[in-house]
Structure 1
Amino acid sequence: MAGGSSASGAVGNPAGVKIVVAGDAKTGKSSLIVTAAAENFPTSIPPVLPPTRLPEDLYPDRVPVTIFDTSSSPEHRGKLVEQLTKADAVVLTYACDRPETLDRLSSFWLPELRRLEVKVPVIVVGCMLDKRGDQQPVSLEQVMSPIMQQFREIETCIECSAVNHIQIPEVFYYAQKAVLHPTAPLFDQEQQVLKPRCVRALKRIFILCDNDRDGALSDAELNDFQVKCFNAPLQPSEIVGVKRVVREKLPEGVDERGLTLTGFLFLHALFIEKGRLETTWTVLRKFGYNNEIKLRDDQLPPPIKKYPDQSVELTNEAVDFLKKIFFTYDVDSDGALRSAELEDLFSTAPENPWNKAPYEDAAEKTALGGLSVDGFLSLWALMMLLDPIHCIETLIYIGYGGDPSSAMRVTRRRRLDRKKQQTDRNVHLCYVFGPKEAGKSALLNSFIGKPFTEVYVSTTGDRYAVNVVDLPSGHKKILVLREIPEEGVKDLLSARDSLAACDVAIFVHDSSRETSWEKATEMLVDVAGQGESSGYEVPCLIVAAKDDLDPYLTEIQDSTRVSQDMGVEAPIPLSTKLGDLSNIFQRIVWAAERPHLSIPETVAGKSRKQYHRLISRSLVFVSVGAAVAVVGLAAYRVYAARKNTSS
């Protein structure tokens, strides 16, 4: 792995690099730019230069570089801000013979960049080095170290002289390099180690290049890697030299099979420490990574085109891959992936996607805290449902080698499912509505095997629970429960297609409190009305929670009346405290699989249907009358024709 510079670095910014030069007045900005472009010190310079393009062959990457001069005067403030916010890199200048201009970097310019949220590499340049002379023997490192500690966005510091042409080309080389081959994503300067995301990406690349999966890159594999990344093979002597360097510094970096992962990572750290970041960036970009060390968009499937009432599911091919991955990483063969095993599984992705909401506590854990196969596949199903592109991206990170589009399928529209009175979905999404303290969270907890607790904790945002449901038919379906907090119902229903993604809605109320029932009923009417007006009608079930408590006095009459009036099943009693769940999850799936049933009707909806029915009948009568008139007219014409003929 000899590395080297490569034009492939241009992938980081194919449109070219825009460098903005800023700083106090008379700190040498314009002289610096003209001298870099013309290679001569200018005799006369306008106050602010027009955009200046550097020759493309000036630097090895051959990427277009355009430099924008700026004025620090108050009347040009707007233009300065506009240029800074569009910059790929900023060169901040100070005059070597005027210490106050250096102080202004930390007192004004660098804080101002942060205030403007200019998050690009900064190159600090001391101009007019020829004017300083020897009266200030303090080294640049001593002067800049405190500033660089405070402002980590500073990539490099350099001093130059336009008059004597000292280090002028280097200024913009470092600026261009900071854009095309930035240090920050790869290396922690303080700890002097590769950053975690860089390590994860390099580990994935190592595994992809380890064709025989023996945990090391043989000489042949190392050579293939070199050809792929740098378009040039390694000579046998070079391979020997690479391995010798690694073995001397890190004995475990090489074994009898070849270069180990440890050695591979060590080499990249070595390149970066020596300032050869372009080597690591070339490797990353050859394997499809962008500047955030995530896969570029061209490595992923295009945005998925679907109607709001369609969903995305894993294909059988993807499920088979995931089952294989599960058992590969279940090192102790206990039928569950514990935390360390899961971290290992996701160690080639930028991060473990399940360490945060909504996935963190969404699936059932085993007694020892691991994920069973069902729990593992359930979380993948949830991820594909909520964020298909991220799901596909993560599949690629962990080794899915097929065509990305072969891992997903878009389901049939729910409207068509209702017409056909069946669905072919494997994953059903259920919205769980209900007032505060009705028992929504307890229901979700029971679904994923969490023990019942008397302690009430209000759910403030959306929460999901996902699990496999075994049906009496012997089939398995994945059910996703989405808890909608009471205060979130209004916002949810404000969007016309808010119910399009929902297969079933359930309305949970505390059966011992009349106010809870009233609020749940209001939500049911609102949801039913939204479904009727938007065309996204949803099967609905009513859940009478806390059945272990005494019901309020008129509970039976009220619930019977509402369920009969709206045409839905009578409330399903259950007690999460006693573990008596009345097969609620199977019943939810049953309703989802018969999307034409259990759809509630409001009074307005019934009136609308009755009106349409009357209109339809009227049209039928009109049509029949019109048909009779047409037939009569035709008969008359035939009769008249015959009469004329006979006469």
Structure 2
Amino acid sequence: MRRDVRILLVGDAGVGKSTIVTSLIKESYVAHVQHVVPEVTIPPEVTPENVTTYIVDSGCLEQDRHHLETEIRKAHVICVVYAIDNPHTFDRIPTYWLPYFRQLGVNVPVILVGNKIDLRGGEVTNEALSEEVLPIMNEFKEVDTCVETSAKLLLNVPEVFYHAQKAVLHPVAPLYDSRDHVLKKECVAALRRIFKICDTNKDGVLDAAELNEFQRKCFDAPLQTQELEGIKETVREHMDNGLRDNELTEEGFLYLLTHFIQLGRQETTWSVLRKFGYGEDLKLTEDFLYPKFDVPHDCSVELSTLGVKFLTETFTAFDKDHDGALKQEELEDLFSTSPGNPWANQRFPDTTVTSDAGAVTLQGWLAQWSMTTLLNYKTTLEYLAYLGYLDTPRTSALQITRPRKAERRKGKSTRNTFLCYVCGAAGSGKTSLLRAFVGRKFTDEYEPTKRMNSVVNTVAIEGREINLVLQEFGSRYEAETLKSSRKTDLADVIVYVHDSSDTNSFSYISNLRQQYNLDHIPTLFVATKSDLDLALQRHEVQPDVYCRRLQLQVPVAVSVKTDQMADVFHQIGQIAIHPLGAIPGGAERALSTAARVRTVMTMGAVLGGLSVGLLLVYRTFGRPGAFGTGWAGQWATWLFSVGRRDL
């Protein structure tokens, strides 16, 4: 919502524009005012809407035209003032002023202000005023309302500017069709989504507890029993299907928010819409969908306890048959408050754990979101908004982990979700391995991997469950991934897969290791198709010798076809949690590398300190030769020269 409002007063000569402004500021009538009152700024703390308000007066003489057109284009709302005692000034509104705004290309709310009500003879009812103004409002949709006032009697003067503010901050036009007296379809769609989010038990009605929670979220106050009964009575009087078993239906909800608009209380409807993230165009705002969330380099993002709790409650609410799994129709219902299933193009639900009937289990649901959060946390933030996570801030549903490199140096990871790259030659069995991980049956039909394939499942390690994400890329994208340090830095484990029955399969992964610098990533070798005859690999050494030279365990032999998996996924999980023992070259190499780095840094600091000291000596003794010609003097002379270069 904007934080300032610029109100412009226009109208024919003598209608009282300047007098209205002066009466507002002085809080008293001033008989003689200047032709155009200077711009007035009202600070936010003295306005009901807490916004800075600028009130701009204008003249209607020829010499005022340039200034008038400039201010019309700058205005957020225009008050067209006419004099009650001069009908000609009212007639000029539809024939001159409103067409003039359109001619300038200006489309802002317009408030009609009938001034000098004290000069009218006789009483005029609201119905009579509506009949007078209605033809103009029907022809010019920009006209928001009409206010009658008297600057002389200080009657309704503040109301003019209140309605002007409201027309800008809480516009009716996006919500309501004044001609047909119905909500616009965009507004209906937004409110239906809000109703569905607030219907936490998904029974199609809002009970007292749900209505109270809705009231608390939107207005920071619960409904009193008397207020709740008043709402139900209002709906009952005007709608046959507004209540069901004395609880508010979706149609009753829509009626209530329409009723507020018809009463001129559109700010209530806007408060609801904005609380649920909608902007002026009745679309969810970018700030709402993507709140600021900075993730340091080498850190990853996981679901927090609050995020897991919300997603678990969402799963339970949409599991209508209480079978512990979400069928396709239940998933469609769940994602009906969003643009659709975020994994529609990712072979979901084959990417996670499902029941025998293919429905997504709770374990699979949470694992899928854990994978999404790890790979693209912005998607998770976006869909938390769509699904109705309204806790502030929404980033409380996520948590940032410690840097991977820091955890590797420590030797044990405390994270919950890990990424494993699965690499190997075409036909080596990578896809079958991934399918086995999420419980899919083996198939002899071979289909080359043409795009990145990711699956996720939970693995029990040392008394806790971790989420393990396995990714394969296919030969087309594998090189592109492995040559990017930005991408390989994301991997917690790399699994090299070769077909133990294919003589050329191991050479492919050996060449990968030679071509790309991947030895900083914990590694496991897997030999697939162990049910077939073992082939001698066309390589300088056989796989077991190759692994021993790297101080890694020999390849794990598996057969997906015969379900002989050698607990390979548990082994990958162990490596993810305890990475040092799986670094090529051994844990000693990884630790010694870190030690060498620390030694170099320490020596650099020592040499830097010596350099400063020797510089002082040099200044004392004059030249390097002053240290002497012996070995100690030569060494000191060399140190001095190093220090001098550094300085």
TM-score by length of 2: 0.58
Aligned pair partner of 2:573 in 577, 580, 589: 589
Contact 1:217/1:257 (8 A) holds in 2: no
Contact 1:566/1:601 (8 A) holds in 2: yes
Are 2:370 and 1:381 aligned? yes
* Counterpart AA for 2:52: P
The Cα shift of 1:427 comes to: 2.4
Where does residue 217 of structure 1 map in the other structure? Answer: 208
- What is the SS of the residue equivalent to 1:469? strand
Separation in structure 2 between the aligned mates of residue 100 and residue 224 of structure 1, nearest angstrom: 43
* Counterpart AA for 1:267: L
Where does residue 418 of structure 1 map in the other structure? Answer: 408
Where does residue 458 of structure 1 map in the other structure? Answer: 450
The Cα shift of 1:478 comes to: 1.9
Are 2:421 and 1:431 aligned? yes
Contact 1:440/1:508 (8 A) holds in 2: yes
Aligned pair partner of 1:467 in 450, 454, 457: 457
- What is the SS of the residue equivalent to 2:491? coil
The Cα shift of 1:497 comes to: 5.3
* Counterpart AA for 2:570: Q
**Equivalent runs, 1:81-480 vs 2, <5 Å:** 123=109, 176-177=165-166, 180-181=169-170, 192=185, 194-205=187-198, 215-217=206-208, 225=215, 229=219, 236=226, 242-254=231-243, 257=246, 259-260=248-249, 262-272=251-261, 276-283=265-272, 289=277, 291=279, 308-314=297-303, 326-327=315-316, 329-342=318-331, 354=342, 360-361=348-349, 362-385=351-374, 386-387=376-377, 390=380, 394=384, 411-433=401-423, 440-450=430-440, 452=443, 453-456=445-448, 458-459=450-451, 463-470=453-460, 476-480=465-469
Separation in structure 2 between the aligned mates of residue 367 and residue 182 of structure 1, nearest angstrom: 52
Separation in structure 2 between the aligned mates of residue 206 and residue 340 of structure 1, nearest angstrom: 18
Aligned pair partner of 1:64 in 45, 49, 52: 52
Instruction: Count the aligned residue pairs.
Output: 540
Separation in structure 2 between the aligned mates of residue 320 and residue 169 of structure 1, nearest angstrom: 49
The Cα shift of 1:374 comes to: 1.4
Separation in structure 1 between the aligned mates of residue 593 and residue 46 of structure 2, nearest angstrom: 75
The Cα shift of 1:579 comes to: 6.1
* Counterpart AA for 1:17: D
Contact 2:531/2:562 (8 A) holds in 1: yes
Instruction: Summarize deviations over 1:376-406 as a string: whole Å, max 9, x none.
Output: 2212433443428955983996679899898
Separation in structure 2 between the aligned mates of residue 276 and residue 142 of structure 1, nearest angstrom: 20
Instruction: Summarize deviations over 1:575-602 as a string: whole Å, max 9, x none.
Output: 6677665544233213213201222359
Separation in structure 1 between the aligned mates of residue 549 and residue 56 of structure 2, nearest angstrom: 72
- What is the SS of the residue equivalent to 1:251? coil
- Quick one: structure 1 residues 424 and 230, their matched pair in 2 at CA, closer, same or farther if it must change by over 3 Å? closer
The Cα shift of 1:223 comes to: 12
Where does residue 494 of structure 2 map in the other structure? Answer: 505
Separation in structure 1 between the aligned mates of residue 335 and residue 536 of structure 2, nearest angstrom: 54
* Counterpart AA for 2:572: I
- What is the SS of the residue equivalent to 2:574? helix
- Quick one: structure 1 residues 276 and 569, their matched pair in 2 at CA, closer, same or farther if it must change by over 3 Å? same
The Cα shift of 1:200 comes to: 3.3
Q: Which runs of 5+ in 2 are unaligned?
A: 24-29, 58-65, 81-92, 113-133, 148-156, 604-647
Separation in structure 1 between the aligned mates of residue 111 and residue 512 of structure 2, nearest angstrom: 64
Separation in structure 2 between the aligned mates of residue 412 and residue 571 of structure 1, nearest angstrom: 30
Separation in structure 2 between the aligned mates of residue 20 and residue 172 of structure 1, nearest angstrom: 8
- Quick one: structure 1 residues 514 and 328, their matched pair in 2 at CA, closer, same or farther if it must change by over 3 Å? same
Separation in structure 2 between the aligned mates of residue 223 and residue 415 of structure 1, nearest angstrom: 44
Separation in structure 1 between the aligned mates of residue 504 and residue 143 of structure 2, nearest angstrom: 66
Instruction: Summarize deviations over 1:452-505 as a string: whole Å, max 9, x none.
Output: 45344621xx5532112356x776432112344656567656765544442212
The Cα shift of 1:279 comes to: 0.9
- Quick one: structure 1 residues 98 and 396, their matched pair in 2 at CA, closer, same or farther if it must change by over 3 Å? closer
Separation in structure 1 between the aligned mates of residue 481 and residue 164 of structure 2, nearest angstrom: 47
Contact 2:215/2:221 (8 A) holds in 1: no
- What is the SS of the residue equivalent to 1:374? helix
Contact 2:291/2:394 (8 A) holds in 1: no
Are 2:523 and 1:540 aligned? yes
* Counterpart AA for 1:599: I
- What is the SS of the residue equivalent to 2:325? coil
Higher relative contact order (CA 8 A, sep 6+): 1
Separation in structure 1 between the aligned mates of residue 512 and residue 393 of structure 2, nearest angstrom: 44
- Quick one: structure 1 residues 391 and 282, their matched pair in 2 at CA, closer, same or farther if it must change by over 3 Å? closer
Aligned pair partner of 1:599 in 567, 583, 607: 583
* Counterpart AA for 2:446: E
The Cα shift of 1:281 comes to: 2.5
Separation in structure 2 between the aligned mates of residue 475 and residue 339 of structure 1, nearest angstrom: 30
Instruction: Summarize deviations over 1:585-640 as a string: whole Å, max 9, x none.
Output: 233213213201222359xx99x969959x99xx9xxxxxxxxxxxxxxxxxxxxx
Contact 2:43/2:51 (8 A) holds in 1: no
- Quick one: structure 1 residues 156 and 558, their matched pair in 2 at CA, closer, same or farther if it must change by over 3 Å? farther
* Counterpart AA for 2:51: V
Instruction: Summarize deviations over 1:440-463 as a string: whole Å, max 9, x none.
Output: 55543443345545344621xx55
Contact 1:382/1:466 (8 A) holds in 2: yes
The Cα shift of 1:288 comes to: 7.2
Contact 1:436/1:458 (8 A) holds in 2: no
Separation in structure 1 between the aligned mates of residue 330 and residue 382 of structure 2, nearest angstrom: 21
- Quick one: structure 1 residues 384 and 250, their matched pair in 2 at CA, closer, same or farther if it must change by over 3 Å? same
- Please identify the structure whose Cα radius of gyration is greater: 2
* Counterpart AA for 2:192: V
Contact 2:529/2:558 (8 A) holds in 1: yes
Deviates more, 1:583-592 or 1:300-309: 300-309
Separation in structure 1 between the aligned mates of residue 558 and residue 77 of structure 2, nearest angstrom: 64
Contact 2:299/2:404 (8 A) holds in 1: yes
Identity %: 28
